[in-house]
Amino acid sequence: MTTFAVHPLTLPCTVWQGRLTVWVLKGGEGPPLVYFHSPWGLQWDPFLGGLARHYTVYAPYLPGTGEGDPNDIYKVDSLWDLVLIMGDVLDALGLQKSALVGHSFGGMLALEVCAHWPERCRGLVAIAPIGLWREEHPIANWMAVLHQQDLVRLLFRNPSSPAVAWVFPTFSDPQQQALAQAKRI
């Protein structure tokens, strides 16, 4: 029986007509389950460890995060590109039908993958998804936004909200401010 302490394998998947290598964490035993992570990154935590007690969990790093080249995000132009890339990942892993689970941005991605390939989706769980894609209200590629003011505008309805100050603290020391901004990029 697999425990929470399972150490997943890290598998490379060359996709997107050879332009990207997507790294995938794999662990557990049972039917396949694909987990799409939130924008804050992927880590094998007790949640994934718990899923791995009942499923073989495949957790791909989104391009530009984790194991891969951080500049890979610039090869992805839209959510649709990412959906197609994840379809390539499923192909590379040999997954014909699996449960899809996603959190936040990963929840939206799981919904889109399932909508495009319903025959590949055994089940679907979207944990606090950021929404569904709508052409009239596209979601910006926030991972490629370099300027804090642009990121604040994309993430917050009210730029003077206390939440903005909590997420993006300001410092009177220019070096501290530059260091804080560099950690977010």
- Over the stretch 16-52, which tens digit does the pLDDT of each residue have? 999 999 999 999 999 999 999 998 889 999 999 999 9
Q: At what angle do helices 105-116 and 79-92 cross, to 10 degrees?
A: 70
Mean pLDDT for 8-12 is 95
Residues near 35 by beta carbon (within 8 Å), at least 6 away in sequence: 48, 51, 57, 58, 59, 101, 102, 103, 106
- Per-residue confidence at 2, pLDDT binned at 50, 70, 90? very low
- Per-residue confidence at 184, pLDDT binned at 50, 70, 90? low
> What's the chain's average pLDDT?
86
Say what the pLDDT of residue 139 is. Answer: 64
Domains and CATH numbers, the chain: 9-139 (3.40.50.1820), 145-185 (no CATH)
pTM comes to 0.74
**Of 73-87, 100-114, 163-177, which range is least confident?**
163-177
Phi, psi dihedrals of residue 50, rounded to the nearest 5°: -65, -40
